[in-house]
Structure 1
Amino acid sequence: MAIGERIHFFRTMRGMTQKYLGMALGFPEKSADVRLAQYENGSRTPKADVTAALAQVLDISPKALDVPDIDSYTGLMHTLFTLEDRYGLEVCECEDEVHLRVHIHKGRDAA
């Protein structure tokens, strides 16, 4: 999931409009929603200071907005958190084995 999709996901999860989030970041009211739309559709990429501010306003770790590096434990954990949020990934135990389970009705691509 690209950074724009992540911004959209967390913004909608928090019940915020693009205008509200843009204004919370300090963008002028007239262009706040346009700027957020540009970030979400990928036509603009937020700079590091904006990404940090987004994370603070959305009350998430800045790592949650990064494209994960699954070669690091932190990146792998944030990937698993994203899978949990999007697809209902959960850890379960069956016959003394640990499994990861995805809910088939959660998420647009789950099958």
Structure 2
Amino acid sequence: MAIGKRIRFFRNRKGMTQKQLGEILGFLGKTSDVRMAQYESEARTPKQDLVKEMAHILDVSPRAITVPEIDSYIGLMHTLFALEDMYGLKIGEIDGEVCLRLDKSTGSTYSTMFDMFHAWQEQAARLERGEITKEEYDQWRYKYPECESKHTKPSIGKSLKS
């Protein structure tokens, strides 16, 4: 999903107008909603420091705003191909169903990604069992890995270098 759509999604999730978000970010008067409309329409792209500030205001991780391009099925497929190349994500079949799995032969990448996927699966199971609300589940996802900081393994970049 493109950055503009993510900004709009999280702004709406917070119940904010473009003008409100723009003013909190420091854009004055009429320029506040115009600037936010430009970001959401992708006529302009916010710099990384502004993305971080937006994320703080919207109470999400900056990474939740800057996800890869997945607005089309083709874009999603190429994102999956990149994950296969970079992290050993494999496609397979179990009981006639297509599935994605981690490749154990990738060593520390497998271990790190397994821990991350397992944390995600645990939260999804808690939601399914009714132990947490959809809002709590979404908050966990959109602030990840902040909410996992006590249990987080080294960053992927560090894990891949070792």
Query: TM-score range, shorter-chain basis?
Result: 0.5 to 0.7
> After superposition, where does 1:28-39 map in structure 2 within 5 Å?
28-39=28-39
> How far apart are residue 54 of structure 1 and its match?
0.4
After TM superposition, the score normalised by the length of structure 2 is 0.44
- Please show how residues 16-95 of structure 1 align to structure 2 within 5 Å: 16-68=16-68, 71=83
List gaps (5 residues or longer) in structure 2. Answer: 69-78, 88-112, 129-162
Number of residues of Structure 1 aligned to a counterpart in Structure 2 = 80
Shift of 1:57: 0.5
Considering fraction of residues, name the structure with more helix: 2
Q: Which structure has the greater CA radius of gyration?
A: 2
1:88-108 Cα deviation digits (max 9, x unpaired): xx666xxxxxxxxxxxxxxxx
1:4 corresponds to: 4
C-alpha RMSD over aligned residues? 2.5
TM-score w.r.t. the length of structure 1 is: 0.63
Gapped regions of structure 1 (runs ≥ 5): 81-89, 93-111
Q: CA deviation at 1:67?
A: 2.2
What per-residue deviation string (whole Å, max 9, x for no partner) do you get for residues 52-105 of structure 1?
Answer: 0100000100010112376365xx97xx8xxxxxxxxx666xxxxxxxxxxxxx
Distance 2:30 2:10 in 1: 23
Q: Which amino acid aligns with 1:21?
A: L
Distance in 1 (CA, whole Å) between partners of 2:27 and 2:56 is 15
Structure 1 residue matching 2:30: 3-state secondary structure: helix
Amino acid at match of 1:36: M
